[in-house]
Amino acid sequence: MTQRTSVNGGLNLSLLVNAATVTLKGKNCLVIPIDDNPALFVGKKGVYLDISVVETPDSQYGHTHYVRANIGSSRRGGYSKEELKAMTPILGNLKAVQAAVAAAEPQQDLPQGTVNGPEDDLPW
């Protein structure tokens, strides 16, 4: 087995603009308005969050990187510096770890599903 470095961490998606947790059909859900968050965009296979991962070698907590929402230059127009800062929060920190790897497994696409409309249209 070979050693491989991986980076682990967590992202606080509730920091995105107007994100909220709500209960729908008895399930706790995170709702993030796509139109309010220019770092989110709808692609061919789903909704994506653009991010920047920045190295932080001097972190007092041992983190090696932080993750920030990112708005590409083509979508930055018309926003003030303050608005851009609010729309690109630091979502979390990452830390490099060593992991033993036997063999790489092929990556699978997640099933595509889009929910539009009232809560009766939810996929569960």
User: Which of 87, 19, 38, 97 is CA-nearest to residue 65?
Assistant: 97
Token pair 């008895």 is at which residue? 26
Q: Which pLDDT tens digit goes with each residue over 42-93? A: 999 999 999 999 999 898 999 999 999 999 887 788 888 899 999 999 999 9
Give me the sign of the Cα torsion angle 29, 30, 31, 35: negative
State pTM to two decimals: 0.71
Q: Which helix (H) or strand (E) holds 81?
A: helix 81-87
β-bridge pairing 40-42 and 65-69: unpaired
Q: Express as a percent the part of the chain with pLDDT over 70.
A: 80
